[in-house]
Structure 1
Amino acid sequence: MTPTIYLVSLILPFILLYQYILLPLFLSPLSKIPAANPLSPITNLWILYIRWRNIENQTLLRLHQKLGPIVRLAPNELSVNCYEGGLKTIYGGGFAKDEFYVRRFVNYGKVNMLCMTDNKAHGLRRRMLSSVYSKSSIMSSASLRVTSRNMLFDRLLPQLVKSAEAGKPVDVFKLSYAYSMDSFMAFQFGLKLGSNFLLDTKERDWYMDAFFGRRQWYFWSDNFSGLVGGLLRVGIHLVPKWITIANHEAADWILKKCDLAEEMVSSGEELPVGDVPTPYVQERAAFRKASGDGGDGAPEDYPYRWELASEMYDHKAAAMETSGDTLTYIFYEMSRHPELQKKLRDELLKLDPPLKCSLEGDAELPEFKAVDDIPLLGAILQETLRRWAPVPGGQPRVTPPPVCSLAGYDNIPPGVKVHSSAGVLHRNPEVFPNPEEWTPDRWLDSSDKQTSEMNRWFWAWSSGGTTCLGNNFATNSMKLVIATVYSNFTTKIVDAKGIEQDEGYTAGPRGSKLMLQFDRVK
């Protein structure tokens, strides 16, 4: 053995000891932060195990209840559960997104707004679409009035009337997903090109099977994307092959919608108001205005084909899943509270015109603003988004240079993964007394000071520059269907097995089912 090799063999163990044991355990600025597990300061194996078992959300809640507002999950990862020095700093301070979003949400090989990690690029993309999703645009949209009327009076109500007359229970989980998808895609692509999951159950079941089939495999693609891709290149499917095929089929389905929308818009023909693909037209124009080139697609592609498709795919997926889960839990909670159904119905019948069922084709919608202004309806939606947050998982960011302070701890270096989660924030008993209880009245009867504090901690739509772009559309769409249902029906639970919330970044009922009986109001 040469002297050099001998010297290295003596020094190397001390270097490794310092780098991987002494530094993270005792010398790192993160060493003072409470650790989730004895292994957390020196390896990410513990948090990977928690994610593999799919128990991260419940684990983080328990940890914060025990250890306080900030917890160290891994050598370079923190969970933060507070407003000052937490939400306000991380999400209002422009911390960049973690690569998690790229691994999870890239479509067609193109980043969309959700997975943009560069704040400047994200802001530019957001401005391309913000006007069409603004509350004033949603409230005054002529095309949305046409499509909403079609969803409610032509597709949804006839089915509910038929089920009620037959005394047949309805799977509200599938119904909520179908309505959420149809409602948004009619706005996104117009009635002619949008989905029809409320009536075409075969297509709905195909899409939902493909959409949910991949959930149990997110652990591998989120945490070992390089390994998944590397094995795939040599023909080994760590994620089952049928998942890949289903993903491609779903992507092709949306791409075809984009292609047909492009063909329709570029023809220059005047479209019926309900067939206008509003968000598609908006972003199409914004892309072309922002740059003189045609994107980086193949010569035969129309300008920005793949960028548009990536954005449209993401918007559609978010609208279906988050609104579908929220509506499912609203119907569940309302069915447990028949007295609240009557109280809400009394308010709804004051609308002019009321949202009463008419199978003669002559029903009209009240003004969107009139529905939006019903306090009890707003409280029901708000409380459901709090108690059953559709995105309960962590929303990871990366600390910026040179250093920052979080939850009372200073000198946190750049490049540390940090995240907060609605599923934990919404269960702070000091802000939301009895947090596990679904109590809409908390949004109606609290003092101004209490309401202000609850609103600061309410995080169903995220916050800062990454606040959910579609929250105004989703709020309007959900309020309309809740108002329509309880203007015409009472609901009661037939089978709620599996209604407990699943784990994950997004999460709905573990059993993916909720059977309710609908009865007509006389």
Structure 2
Amino acid sequence: MVVLGVQNILLLLVSGLLVNLVFKFIVQPAFLSPLAKIPAGHWSAHFSPLWILYIRWTNQENATILRLHQEKGKILRLGPSELSVNDYAEGLKKIYMGGFPKNNFYAHRFTNYETRNMFTMIDGKEHSERKRMLSNVYSKSIVLSSPTTRATTASIMYKRLLPLLQESSDKGSPIEMLELSYGYAMDAFMAYQFGLSRGSNFIQDVQRRKWYLDLFFRRRPYLFFITETPRLISRLSRVGLRIVPKWVDAATDELETWNLDICDSAEQLLSQNDAIPAEDYPVIYAQERLALRKAYQGITRLYTPRADQTYPFRYEIASDMYDHNAAAHETSGDTLTYVHYEMARDPALQRRLREELLTLDPPILYPAKDQENVQLPDFKAVDGLPLLDAILQETLRLWVAVPGGQPRLTPSPPCSIAGYENIPPNTKVQCYAYALHRNPEVYPEPEKWKPERWLHATPDKLSEMRRWFWAFGSGGRMCIGNNIAIHSMKMAIAATYTNFTSHIVEHGDMTLVDGFTAGPKGNRLNLKFEHV
């Protein structure tokens, strides 16, 4: 009798525990949560995150989210505490311009040197303070008027990029443009970041370029686990089980060391107090170095766990610098590749663009009359060319380099989104540029690359398209480097199509990789160039 009594008590306890678990993890989120009324991407999303995790792991997320928004409307439930919104007013404006905070997605994926940077900062005040330190040198007016921008642009165009295209023309040999575009984007950005002599030379140093790109992209299949399951990785590693191989950490260490060496070199240059030529001045590095020392006098580090601070804020600056140049080379490189892909398929558009480019004073002709004293047109004039701008805008729309969801957390107290009330605090909510840019009501025939949509739209239509345009994000967390990115891409396009025509020799699958960032799935675009 006593044994039966104990068994009955145990049975009741187990039953009660099961009932409690079923209520907490199934009944409550699926039926009683304020999110329960929101259309779900999958029936299981009401009580389990496994569906959306599977979609991300299998690289189907962006296309799936677009299809589901088309079927179910502007808001979707992706998991028990996760939403997607495909709308300007209720998405971009409310979430990103409304200051919804970031979550740990960014820290897991983009922290460098174990030290958070501006991109990974969750606290809005901390982020704003850091962004203000750098916003001046990233502003459009400074980028377009900087002596460093002018000197480095001339050197990279006339001593690196254009000679390579001329060689293709002379020999009739193709160039693989994806890798070259990554190299150009890195060179152009790092010349402004660290100065020409300390930045990369990936256009000419092919071996070094391949080394970098191999380390950078070979880690990508493991980013899902690093970003989505960091606790699982940590727990398994404690018992000797590794989901992420050791070589991934070794590759990251190698890239971080490369970037840190450049930072150390820039620090040494600035510490000498010598006059620095414009083309070698490390504009971005120098600005952050000065701003941090001014804001935190008497302090040598803020929050890095690393002790070897051989100079003030060594790892805080290095973490920002690595984040900025990694983002610059990938996003601008992918975008330029797609510009070349579309242009090479349209000889008539190449002719029209060249006619526009020849109106610049002086035009960007190669070879230059005086190769050692190259005269470039006013960068504001280049920026203001309508067709050039339309070509870049349309490429950024259709072939958006960051198509994936950019998660935020809902604030306290509960808020309303897209007509649904009492959305609980700390609910993960996000928009996807891939879906926003394919709204047919805003962008008719959204799957077609049509630069003319930016040229012939009415003022009201143009304003609407710009509101929904999200290639660089929006709000206080908008990409800080958008002005230098646009400048470097426009100059590359302008210099190329002023002097050369292009046509496709061969390419891989040009469909966008389905991920947070994206380039072509086939990883190659071989073009031939002919001097006009």
TM-score band by shorter chain is: over 0.9
**Gaps (5+ residues) in structure 2?**
none
Q: Partner residue of 2:386?
A: 375
Alignment of 1:443 onto 2:454: yes
Distance (whole Å) between structure 1 residues aligned to residue 514 and residue 11 of structure 2: 51
Matched to 2:86, the amino acid is N
Conservation of the 8 A alpha-carbon contact between 2:508 and 2:523: no
Conservation of the 8 A alpha-carbon contact between 1:177 and 1:321: yes
Superposed displacement of residue 186, structure 1: 0.8
Distance (whole Å) between structure 2 residues aligned to residue 382 and residue 131 of structure 1: 24
Q: Partner residue of 2:71?
A: 66
Q: Partner residue of 1:96?
A: 101
Superposed displacement of residue 13, structure 1: 2.6
Alignment of 1:179 onto 2:184: yes
Alignment of 1:218 onto 2:216: no
Which of 107, 122, 131 aligns to 1:126? It is 131
Alignment of 1:418 onto 2:424: no
Matched to 2:119, the amino acid is L
Conservation of the 8 A alpha-carbon contact between 1:336 and 1:493: yes
Which of 297, 310, 322 aligns to 1:313? It is 322
Distance (whole Å) between structure 2 residues aligned to residue 299 and residue 350 of structure 1: 54
Superposed displacement of residue 512, structure 1: 1.4
Q: Partner residue of 1:517?
A: 528
Which of 211, 221, 228 aligns to 2:233? It is 228
* SS of match in other structure, 1:114: coil
Conservation of the 8 A alpha-carbon contact between 1:357 and 1:363: no
Q: Partner residue of 1:267?
A: 272
Q: Partner residue of 2:16?
A: 11
Superposed displacement of residue 124, structure 1: 0.8
Alignment map for 1:443-462 (pairs within 5 Å):
443-462=454-473
Superposed displacement of residue 227, structure 1: 2.5
Conservation of the 8 A alpha-carbon contact between 1:85 and 1:405: no
Conservation of the 8 A alpha-carbon contact between 1:138 and 1:473: yes
Q: Partner residue of 1:328?
A: 337
Tell me the TM-score normalised to structure 1 length.
0.98
Q: Aligned Cα RMSD in Å? A: 1.3
* SS of match in other structure, 1:104: helix
* SS of match in other structure, 2:416: strand
Superposed displacement of residue 258, structure 1: 0.4
Superposed displacement of residue 237, structure 1: 3.1
**Gaps (5+ residues) in structure 1?**
none
Alignment map for 1:280-359 (pairs within 5 Å):
280-292=285-297, 293-295=299-301, 297-298=306-307, 301-358=310-367
Which of 387, 390, 399 aligns to 1:388? It is 399
Distance (whole Å) between structure 2 residues aligned to residue 143 and residue 131 of structure 1: 14
Distance (whole Å) between structure 1 residues aligned to residue 263 and residue 15 of structure 2: 63
Distance (whole Å) between structure 2 residues aligned to residue 345 and residue 471 of structure 1: 25
Distance (whole Å) between structure 2 residues aligned to residue 325 and residue 246 of structure 1: 22
Distance (whole Å) between structure 2 residues aligned to residue 314 and residue 288 of structure 1: 20
Q: Partner residue of 2:144?
A: 139
Conservation of the 8 A alpha-carbon contact between 2:300 and 2:309: no
* SS of match in other structure, 1:516: strand
Distance (whole Å) between structure 2 residues aligned to residue 300 and residue 81 of structure 1: 45
Post-superposition Cα deviations, 1:290-314, rounded to whole Å, max 9, x if no partner, equal 1121115536520000000000000
Distance (whole Å) between structure 2 residues aligned to residue 452 and residue 368 of structure 1: 24
Distance (whole Å) between structure 1 residues aligned to residue 71 and residue 340 of structure 2: 33
Which of 204, 208, 220 aligns to 1:203? It is 208
Superposed displacement of residue 5, structure 1: 4.7
Post-superposition Cα deviations, 1:232-254, rounded to whole Å, max 9, x if no partner, equal 45554321222221111111000
Matched to 1:483, the amino acid is A
Distance (whole Å) between structure 2 residues aligned to residue 377 and residue 241 of structure 1: 45
Distance (whole Å) between structure 2 residues aligned to residue 447 and residue 66 of structure 1: 29
Q: Partner residue of 1:78?
A: 83
Superposed displacement of residue 503, structure 1: 1.1
Post-superposition Cα deviations, 1:218-241, rounded to whole Å, max 9, x if no partner, equal 111111112223444555432122
Change (3 A) 1:4 1:289: farther
* SS of match in other structure, 1:432: coil
Alignment of 1:504 onto 2:510: no
Alignment of 1:402 onto 2:413: yes
Q: Taking every aligned residue pair, what percent have the same amino acid on both sides?
A: 52
Superposed displacement of residue 500, structure 1: 1.2
Conservation of the 8 A alpha-carbon contact between 2:309 and 2:315: no
Superposed displacement of residue 9, structure 1: 3.1
Distance (whole Å) between structure 1 residues aligned to residue 52 and residue 204 of structure 2: 43
Distance (whole Å) between structure 1 residues aligned to residue 169 and residue 146 of structure 2: 32
Matched to 1:57, the amino acid is N
Conservation of the 8 A alpha-carbon contact between 2:410 and 2:424: yes
Distance (whole Å) between structure 2 residues aligned to residue 61 and residue 496 of structure 1: 26
Change (3 A) 1:300 1:407: closer
Between 295-304 and 397-406, report the one with greater CA deviation. Answer: 295-304
Q: Partner residue of 2:257?
A: 252
Conservation of the 8 A alpha-carbon contact between 2:332 and 2:489: yes
Distance (whole Å) between structure 1 residues aligned to residue 232 and residue 212 of structure 2: 27
* SS of match in other structure, 1:39: helix
